[in-house]
Structure 1
Amino acid sequence: MPEVVVVGGGLEGCATAWALTRRGITDVVIVERHTVGSGGTGKSSGIVRCHYGVSSLAAMATQALEFFEAHATEVGFRQTGYVVGVGPENVAALHASMADQRAVGVRTEDLSADEVRTLWPVADLAPFGAFAWEDRGGYGDAYRTAQFFAGVARRAGATLRQGATVAEILVERGRAAGVRLTDGTEIGADAVVVAAGPWSVPLLAAQGVDLPITVHREQIVLIDPGLDLGPVPVFSDLVSLQYVRPETGGEILFGNSDLAELEVADPDHYSDQATEAFLELTVEKVGTRFPGLQNASIASSYAGCYDVTPDFNPAVSATGVDGLIVAAGFSGHGFKISPSVGRLVADLVIEGSSSHPDIPESDFRLSRFAEGALLRSPHPYVGAGEMR
């Protein structure tokens, strides 16, 4: 009988198996209904940054950054740097957040508008009041990262079952005892980790565990800049609420950072292309911020789904059922913290608490939603509340 069954073969599930095997728990089974990385993982925009107002998230991101640097080739990590800019009303919050980030090991510094202009010469920087810079930031490939986690775990002894759908979590005498698949097969285990994104909700609900997730369709547009931009960094614009990053082949990936209104979707049935309205928004935002891209054009688009919690932060937590752990609700942040998520879940399985002093498990407890104790930045950005 396996010690741990992991439900979900996306980033977080595979990271969990990777972390468990590194801790000596090699009798692990990952159960994935399709193939590794076939859900939200394959639609990630892949940005790597440590800029979080919540200190524990910043600590998770900076710990994970060491993984991306160590395995850059295998996971497609490109260390382009990351710059974030805010309007005058958010300068104080930016600097306070940066101070908290440095306290947990983030390497972040102020940049002047002139310095940012050398990085993004086609940008209009007039509306910004201040900028922060992470030279270790960049972007990677979430699909390749999930495959890497799964490959390392399998070589260490874990088993991967693809094309297998979990129908039910088995509970005996108040403790998780494994899972039942839709074909009736039962896999017994000492612990069950549910890391299935939005599909985690009904599995947990059947055991009386409420996971408050809203599924949000997130659209992405790839832009042909019409010129050779050179080695530009990731740019997070908290004035017009957008982010852009370079893409292999010279394109630019655009995403909308305005999540004040969610586009509720069915994760099994949604359009995987950007709408005309979103394309128009893209043209407006990119054209306004980057007037130097005079010959830019839309190259392609796609869409994925975020599993969004009430505070836009994940639940990585024990539940009301002994031996049942959840890792879901990543709200678009799962890629950059995935190695740390795996480590935290492994801690919860083995010790029941976090081994990292800057990443207390209490921050990510599932019960905080029912308690009304949401995980929020102490230095929120006016007009950009979802950017933690």
Structure 2
Amino acid sequence: MVSNAEVVVVGGGLEGLAIAWALADRGVRDVLVLEREGLCSGGTAKSSSIVRCHYGVASLAAMSQRGVELFADAEEILGSDVGYRRTGYAVGVGPENADALRANVALQQSVGVGVREMSAADMRELWQGMYVDDFATFAYEPDGGRGDAYLLGMAFGSRARELGVRVRQQTPVTRLLTGDDGRVSGVETAGGERISAGTVVLANGPWSVALAEPLGVDLPVWAQRAQIVMVDPGEPLGEVPVFSDLVSLQYVRTEPSGELLFGNSDHSTPEYADPDTYRNRADDSFVEMAGEKLAHRFPSWAEPRMITSYAGCYDVTPDYNPVIGPAEVPGLFLAVGFSGHGFKLAPAVGRLVTDLIVDGVSGDPAIPAEDFRLARFAEGAPLVSRNPYAGAGQMR
């Protein structure tokens, strides 16, 4: 079989579907999305789906702000609720990071983020029973909160289909095809079908590496296992803010059910994994660590208990920031390595990829495309925070 499309998107997760929607919304509707399993069944289904703009990289803060803007109007834009709940987002730091937090707040405000510094007394009001004496200061985003990456991805997919995009599930791509001139000309699927394309976009996370390698494109992307514990706090918490604790290195957010999601923010000793075979529950040592961190931060909880646990994989790069842009091989486009940021960035990722494919430049001056170029690693110019937090690891 031989078929064709103007753009083939490899990967039917959140980023791939956001790209397909943005292309179709711009008028590029001869788009085919190929997903190896079911839509949003990979990393998207495991996302903690936190809405925040707290970054020390201006372009990332701006991209997250574009995400907040879409989440707020998702029913009008996408025709579907994407689970966005404006609970607020707070981040707390110790004395050694107070100046960095203030600098980051100023940076975020400069790109339109509604964020402000907040005192310990303010935090006590928002989170009753939280121990805050080891924090120096906090930043607070009223528009932050939580969403649902699966709902968002499926909403992008549904709207893209309405606009004419074709989506095929259970269709693994096994090889990128090239013409005599070396340009990527399409893909080959596991079923032996060859699909020609003007542009192929790799938006399939850690599975992109094996497809790019035969073409001489070395993608520094690895699957990093991330563990999550779900906790019953033993008392109703209400709609408290999502909280990023950069003293104990943890993050917590409530579920609609009232349970609490706990994640680790210490990435100093990453665990790399095979994205197809990793262990899908938290290790005993992780559960014990989670209990200790939660007991320190929330000493007033009388009878908290673990409900369940699971694990997922981030697709990480050396600087924990994504690669978005054309590869050195003509006809190949990259949108990989989202390193845990993908949910909040997805709306802006779709727009940026579309702008670069259609126009060759970013259409948003606050989001320069060169920030996300693959070549930055070979150049020794990683994309890192202007105001890093000492001891807080990556992902900022």
Q: TM-score, normalised on structure 2? A: 0.97
Q: Does 1:102 align with 2:116?
A: no
Match of 1:153 among 149, 154, 160: 160
Alignment of 1:114-263 (within 5 A): 114-172=121-179, 173-263=181-271
Cα displacement string for residues 277-316 of structure 1 (whole angstroms, at most 9, x for unaligned residues): 0000110001111111121100111100011100000001
Q: Distance in 1 between matches of 2:344 and 2:67?
A: 7
Q: Distance in 1 between matches of 2:81 and 2:238?
A: 23
Mean alpha-carbon deviation: is it higher for 73-82 or for 7-16? Answer: 73-82
* Runs (5+) with no aligned partner, structure 1: none
Q: Does 1:45 align with 2:36?
A: no
1:14 paired residue number:
17
Q: Which amino acid aligns with 1:278?
A: F
Percentage identity across paired residues of the two chains: 55
Structure 1 runs of 4+ off > 4 angstroms?
A: none
Task: Report if aligned partners of 2:340, 2:395 keep a CA contact under 8 Å in 1.
Answer: no
2:94 paired residue number:
87
Cα displacement string for residues 36-78 of structure 1 (whole angstroms, at most 9, x for unaligned residues): 0011000000101000000000000001111111116621111
Q: Distance in 1 between matches of 2:376 and 2:300?
A: 46
Task: Report if aligned partners of 2:339, 2:395 keep a CA contact under 8 Å in 1.
Answer: no
Task: Report if aligned partners of 1:323, 1:349 keep a CA contact under 8 Å in 2.
Answer: no
How far the C-alpha of 1:229 sits from its partner, in A, is 1.0
Q: How many residues align?
A: 388
How far the C-alpha of 1:110 sits from its partner, in A, is 1.2
Q: Does 1:28 align with 2:31?
A: yes
SS in 2 for 1:177: strand
Q: Distance in 1 between matches of 2:102 and 2:332?
A: 39
Task: Report if aligned partners of 1:59, 1:358 keep a CA contact under 8 Å in 2.
Answer: yes
Task: Report if aligned partners of 1:381, 1:387 keep a CA contact under 8 Å in 2.
Answer: no
How far the C-alpha of 1:196 sits from its partner, in A, is 0.3
1:314 paired residue number:
322
Q: Which amino acid aligns with 1:85?
A: G
Compute the RMSD of aligned alpha carbons.
Answer: 0.9
Task: Report if aligned partners of 2:222, 2:316 keep a CA contact under 8 Å in 1.
Answer: yes
Task: Report if aligned partners of 2:281, 2:309 keep a CA contact under 8 Å in 1.
Answer: yes
Cα displacement string for residues 131-168 of structure 1 (whole angstroms, at most 9, x for unaligned residues): 00000001111111110000000000000010001011
Mean alpha-carbon deviation: is it higher for 362-371 or for 72-81? Answer: 72-81
Q: Distance in 2 between matches of 1:78 and 1:323?
A: 39
Q: Which amino acid aligns with 1:59?
A: A
Alignment of 1:270-281 (within 5 A): 270-281=278-289
How far the C-alpha of 1:337 sits from its partner, in A, is 0.5
